[in-house]
Amino acid sequence: MLPKKVKKRASLLAILLFTSVIGIFLILNALNKNILYFNSPTDIKINQDINFDKKIRVGGMVKKDTLKIKDQEIRFIITDFKNEINVSFKGTIPNLFAEGKGVVAEGKLQDKKFFVADRILAKHDENYMPPELKNIMKDNAK
C-alpha cells in the first residue's frame, strides 16, 4: 500500500488538475467568439447585431472565376460553399492568393453582402506536394 502522505499529495494534484481543466474550459467557452480568427460568410449572415464600424475578418475560399482586377481595385467573392460575400480591396496581395484558395480578409462590412478589405491574408491548406505531381493530377482531372 502507498503511504498516506503520498496518497494525500496525489489527491491534491488530481483536484488541482480537475479544477483547472474546468476553469480553463469555462474561460474558453466564454471567449468562444473571440478565439475565432475569422468569421465565415454564414456567420455574418446569421449574426443579428453586426457593428459596421468595427474591423472584422472574413475568411473562406475565393470563389472560382470571380476575381476581377480593375484600376488597382481587386474584387472577388469569398464563399464557404453555403453563403457568399463580395469583397473589394486596394493594395498588395500575398503570393499565394489565388482563385479556389483560402483567404482571410480584414476590413469593414459595408452591408451584409459587401465587404471592404484593407488587408488580405492567404490561408494555406494542409496539402504539400511537388509541382510535377500537381501537373499529373491536373492532367488526370481533364
Partner 1 sequence: MLNFFHNSYIFILIEKLVNFINSIFFVLLLVALSFALVFSPPDYLQGDSVRIMYVHVPAAWISLASFSCIAIFSILNFIFKIKNLKLITKSIAPIGLMFTCIAIVTGSIWGKPTWGTFWAWDARITSMVIMALFYLFFIVIYKFFDDDKANKISSILAVIGLINIPIIKYSVEWWSTLHQPASIKITGTSTIHSSMLTPLMLMFFVLILYCALIFLMKYKTEIIKIKKKNLKRYDQ
> Could you list the residues that contact partner 1 (CB under 8 A)?
6, 9-10, 13, 16-17, 20-21, 24, 28, 35-40, 59, 93-97, 101, 104, 119-134
Do 58 and 42 contact (CB within 8 A), yes or no?
Answer: no
Handedness of CA 39, 45, 46, 49 (dihedral sign): positive
Go through the chain and tell me how many residues it has: 142
Residues contacting 53, CB < 8 A, separation 6+: 108
Our CB check for partner 1 shows the closer of 94 and 110 to be 94
Whole-number Å distance between alpha carbons of 135 and 137: 5
Residues sharing a CB contact under 8 Å with residue 77, sequence separation 6 or more, in sequence order? 62, 63, 66, 84, 85, 86, 87
Q: 6 or 69, CB closer to partner 1? A: 6
User: Which of residues 39 and 79 has its CB atom nearest to partner 1 in the complex?
Assistant: 39
CB of 127 to partner 1, least distance (A): 5
Q: How far is the CB of 133 from partner 1 (least distance, A)?
A: 6
CA angle (63, 120, 135) in 5-degree steps: 50
C-alpha cell at 97: 492568393
Nearer to partner 1, 13 or 46 (CB): 13
Tell me the closest approach of the beta carbon of residue 98 to partner 1, in angstroms.
Answer: 8
CB closer to partner 1, 77 vs 117: 117
